[in-house]
Structure 1
Amino acid sequence: MTTNEKIAALRAAAKAAGADAVLLMTSDPHCSEYLPDYYNALPWFSGFTGENSTLVVTQEGSALWCDGRFYVQADKQLAGTEIACMHAGSAGVPTVAEYLADHVKAGQTLLLDGSCVPANLAHEYTEVLAKNGAVLKSQDVASAIWDASGERPALPDTPCELLTPAQTGATAGERIAMVRAELAKAGATALAVTGLDCVGWLLNLRARDLPCTPLAVAYALVTSQDCTLFVAPGRLSDADAATLAQSGVAIRGYGDLLDAVSKVDAGEVFLVDEKATNYDLYTALSAYKTVAGADPIFALKGVKNEVELKNIRECHIRDGVAVVRFEMDLEKALAEGRELYETDIEKMLQKRRAEQPGYLEDSFSTIAAWGPNAAMMHYHAEGEVNSKIQRRGFLLVDNGGQYDCGTTDITRTYPVGPLTEDERKYYTWVLQSHIDMARAVFLDYCTGFALDTFARGPVWAHKVNYRCGTGHGVGFISGVHEGPQSLRPNNPVVFKPGMTITDEPGIYETDEVGIRIENELECIDLGDNQYGHWLGFTPLTVVPIDTTPVLVDELSRVQIDWLNAFHKHVYETLAPRLNDEEKTWLANKCAPIGR
């Protein structure tokens, strides 16, 4: 089927169901950032493969919304189809809600799959339609078309396993008790846990259902007396099922959640976040008394315990060894004049990570971008989009690993030949921004919003900015992007010791250059005095930062001191795991700089 034929089939299915329009979006029942392919219908119907998009099909036309990361890609992939490409956020482009108000009229009905749309959006669209005298109905008409094609991927069913308390520092029973305590503080007794990372944290459950994210497609239901895991039969070993049973966890089928919710004791009070709960589940929970609030697991898992932190530090040492060996491989290949393409970089990194104990997979698809390609923050080389690495300018490499002791995320920008004066200036400013964030000292009421400005000062001084956050939380053997903390202008979460965060400022000059330097940091306690309780950061990443492009005279004395201390720490941490040749190479990379 062509894209237009698929759109026509959606249009016909809506009409057959007595409706006038259909809405699809990149979401799943768990409101995930990265979807199992089974739920990701929008690319099949539209041909657009980017993230965070919405498709609306009426009887007269169709439109797809994408964000700024994907304007060029969407224009290209939708060309030749009937679908109008909407550049979300651009001047003159209506929002999805505004489009629905204009195109779904009185007496008409909009269909969407309520199990795959967050409740807050469904409520917004319901209100918009009601003003026109139109209605919204939860009904999935897309699946039958997709299933009939024979092209729909199966629901993931990789083997599940439980992490041990030696890895996580807590049993499932202990974490369930923590959640119940938080529910009590919120005036609630029950919680439907839908986020895959939240289910994983609560029950120490992991699988390989998603690429680069070792989680299981599952739900959990916590009430005042019971806890139930909803997962497809046969995915857990008898031993792991018995371990969960010891923590008071029952197991039911993946599709049984709504039935189980309908049979919960009428006296239970559910804590519900409409942004993180799909519309169908939200509707089912509305039969009970509810309290509005975020799933407490988001905040609980954002602060790592001492066992997790110990394992995370070990994870970064292993990853540091792998990245150092990759950097040596890259330098050797360049010195020998080997022809290298961006896609070669991912393979080189995977080879070195695979040598490390406990390596599972990458934590996301490697971004290896040479020269001007790096100005596109989410650039990914594949297929025909794969530049040859020329011997000039910079190569930006953003990558990470999943290990049995943690998750990593690191970016380095490598000079691969002669640099321009602007490239050196940009690199130096980014390094200053990175250092200023890493050496920040702050009071314990500071939010991600407040801290974000620590990093932006050095680039703002030159009237330059980066149109993204400075950093994000990182999961523990989980998603590489994790909240609730982040370093960005709109984040209200107060930082606490034990939180981990990336520090990744950058400069992105379109068609010219992209530079980013990224370490993971651990938030640490710096003690009290008469002014309050002080916090700071210490690096978790142990990989040298290339100093050859740096304009040293631009750095302050404290910035130079921080960089030299960081490199001393890198060498002392990694050297015991390296051979003599590698130690010599690392000592050179970690040599102190000065004016």
Structure 2
Amino acid sequence: MTSPSSILLNNLRQLMKSKQYFNDIIHAYIIPTTDPHRNEYVADRFKRREFISQFTGSNGTAVITDKEALLWTDGRYFLQAENELDSTCWKLMRDGTKDVLSITKWLSRNLEKNSFIGCDPQLISINEWQEWEKTFEQSDKQLVPIHKNLIDILWDKQRPELPNNPIWKHELEFAGASISEKLSKVRSKMSEYQVNHLIVHRTDDVAWLFNLRGADIPCNPVFLSFSIVSFDSIKLFVDLNKLSDTLKKDLENENISIYSYDSFYEQLKKHVHSQQSSDKFCTSSSCNHAVETIIPKKQLVLQDDIVYELKAVKNDCEIQGMKQAHYIVFFNGAYLIKQVHTTIGLALEDTLREFLRRQILTSRVVHYILGVFDYIINQKLNSQSVKERKGTNLIFKGHLRSYRGCDQVWTLLSDSLTLTSNTDPSWKTNLTD
């Protein structure tokens, strides 16, 4: 019986041979994980590699040839990939391990001369495209842009829509700088680099520049968007339905023209053609290759990402916000006890009062931490043996060796983390279980 994965692969290979989307047979087709903004974590609409392979990890690249289907992923996902890939038609390439070739080396060795290797140019950075193109040329193979994504054709009506989560304003009290102040700094850098137009392609850069936040990608406060910043105009490309009337008016007051997200490439073409041939367009080498194909080579300037560098230098307000966010996450993740007057609970109150006095934390954050603290103790000590000792002083003992935060998960390493009673030495509960 033919498996669903095998059917999908056969249909993809028929498209590769059809010559409908390129003037010759596509001998290999590369399917990255990313989206047009080069994000590692992507919205459902851009999970093309997951659709074709059924592998759900956040890192990986699929390569399809006439005879083989291969998936490259790193060591975080070896076991997951083994479980999710159909081993009857997929081969796992354990990237970074001995004797496993890189994608470019494997294709260079296994495809015949004069083969065409296709990829959606929106999903490969300018830098990657140049490196891959050079590598393939050395083995008499050619990397070609396939502007109509073949996976989208297979996905058809089952393909998820773009996210429709609303965009909200990142208030000045948190941003620490207005849109006009940020644009002034951006244009100052543009003058320094002697460029006339800047293409902002990172979703986090757009969010920072326009003091906006969104929820198009899980666990990331960004929204799908591009921007073109010139000295006499600013264009923002975003799903118009995500903006409230108030936000639209605020952006218009900043002389920002708003366009639909899907119109970016067409509007970029018009923008390039409407400018003088001597004008310079700037973007970074991490921008997708499709942008590079629109701008004449003599007009394109590849420069370190201007907005990205400005965003990296935090103002006082942003630094304060980062500190408060870390305090909230830390106290939320640590199993601290306050309600039953433990030693650590009293120490927490003293510490928070000191932070409040020194203006490290605001009163709102302090109240939030204490509220989370109470909630955790009610959950953690929800056992009959503890309930019977509500009037008893409990002592929290332990040694915090280290802690770290990654992907919104806090890991605490401690020794002998226990609760004991000062009135009943025989009673003890282990909070690390």
Fold match by TM threshold 0.5: yes
Q: Which residue of 2 aligns with 1:289?
A: 299
Code of the residue aligned with 2:6 in structure 1: it is N
In structure 1, C-alpha distance between the alignment counterparts of 2:218 and 2:187, rounded to whole Å:
31
Relative to structure 1, the CA distance from residue 415 to residue 6 in structure 2 (aligned partners, 3 Å threshold; closer, same or farther) is: farther
Aligned residues: 352
Code of the residue aligned with 1:214 in structure 2: it is P
Does the 8 A contact of 1:268 with 1:288 survive in 2?
A: no
Once the two structures are superposed, residues 238-262 of structure 1 have per-residue CA deviations (whole angstroms, 9 ceiling, x without a partner) of 1111111222211001012222222
- Gap runs ≥5 in structure 2: 20-24, 341-364, 372-399, 419-433
- Gap runs ≥5 in structure 1: 332-352, 360-393, 402-407, 419-595
Alpha-carbon offset, residue 99 of structure 1? 1.1
Once the two structures are superposed, residues 352-393 of structure 1 have per-residue CA deviations (whole angstroms, 9 ceiling, x without a partner) of x9x949x9xxxxxxxxxxxxxxxxxxxxxxxxxxxxxxxxxx
Alpha-carbon offset, residue 296 of structure 1? 1.3
Bigger Rg over Cα: 2
Q: Which residue of 1 aligns with 2:284?
A: 273
Aligned match for 1:305, one of 286, 311, 315: 315
Matched, 1:32 2:34: no
Relative to structure 1, the CA distance from residue 398 to residue 4 in structure 2 (aligned partners, 3 Å threshold; closer, same or farther) is: farther
Q: Which residue of 2 aligns with 1:155?
A: 162
Aligned match for 1:56, one of 58, 63, 66: 63
Code of the residue aligned with 1:11 in structure 2: it is R
- RMSD of the TM alignment (CA)? 3.0
Alpha-carbon offset, residue 79 of structure 1? 5.1
Q: Which residue of 2 aligns with 1:167?
A: 174
Alpha-carbon offset, residue 197 of structure 1? 0.4
Q: Which residue of 1 aligns with 2:17?
A: 15
Aligned match for 2:120, one of 109, 113, 136: 113
Code of the residue aligned with 1:257 in structure 2: it is F
In structure 2, C-alpha distance between the alignment counterparts of 1:247 and 1:409, rounded to whole Å:
38
Query: For 1:18-417, what aligned pairs fall within 5 Å after superposition?
Result: 18-78=25-85, 80-139=87-146, 140-148=149-157, 150=158, 152-264=159-271, 265-266=275-276, 267-274=278-285, 276-287=286-297, 289-324=299-334, 326-328=335-337, 356=368, 410-415=410-415
Q: Which moved more, 1:286-295 or 1:157-166?
A: 286-295
Alpha-carbon offset, residue 52 of structure 1? 2.4
Once the two structures are superposed, residues 274-297 of structure 1 have per-residue CA deviations (whole angstroms, 9 ceiling, x without a partner) of 2x2111112113455122222111
Code of the residue aligned with 2:205 in structure 1: it is C
Relative to structure 1, the CA distance from residue 91 to residue 177 in structure 2 (aligned partners, 3 Å threshold; closer, same or farther) is: same
In structure 2, C-alpha distance between the alignment counterparts of 1:114 and 1:210, rounded to whole Å:
21
In structure 2, C-alpha distance between the alignment counterparts of 1:81 and 1:281, rounded to whole Å:
38
In structure 2, C-alpha distance between the alignment counterparts of 1:187 and 1:236, rounded to whole Å:
33
Does the 8 A contact of 1:186 with 1:291 survive in 2?
A: no
Code of the residue aligned with 2:293 in structure 1: it is T
Alpha-carbon offset, residue 398 of structure 1? 6.0
Does the 8 A contact of 1:11 with 1:21 survive in 2?
A: no
Code of the residue aligned with 1:174 in structure 2: it is E
Once the two structures are superposed, residues 393-412 of structure 1 have per-residue CA deviations (whole angstroms, 9 ceiling, x without a partner) of x99986579xxxxxx77432
Q: Which residue of 2 aligns with 1:6?
A: 8
In structure 2, C-alpha distance between the alignment counterparts of 1:134 and 1:416, rounded to whole Å:
61
Relative to structure 1, the CA distance from residue 251 to residue 82 in structure 2 (aligned partners, 3 Å threshold; closer, same or farther) is: same
Once the two structures are superposed, residues 461-518 of structure 1 have per-residue CA deviations (whole angstroms, 9 ceiling, x without a partner) of xxxxxxxxxxxxxxxxxxxxxxxxxxxxxxxxxxxxxxxxxxxxxxxxxxxxxxxxxx
SS in 2 for 1:263: helix
Relative to structure 1, the CA distance from residue 85 to residue 225 in structure 2 (aligned partners, 3 Å threshold; closer, same or farther) is: same
Does the 8 A contact of 1:31 with 1:278 survive in 2?
A: yes
Relative to structure 1, the CA distance from residue 209 to residue 99 in structure 2 (aligned partners, 3 Å threshold; closer, same or farther) is: same
Alpha-carbon offset, residue 110 of structure 1? 1.7
In structure 1, C-alpha distance between the alignment counterparts of 2:174 and 2:208, rounded to whole Å:
12
Alpha-carbon offset, residue 125 of structure 1? 2.4
Code of the residue aligned with 1:244 in structure 2: it is L
In structure 2, C-alpha distance between the alignment counterparts of 1:413 and 1:154, rounded to whole Å:
42
Does the 8 A contact of 1:118 with 1:277 survive in 2?
A: yes
SS in 1 for 2:38: coil
Code of the residue aligned with 2:413 in structure 1: it is T
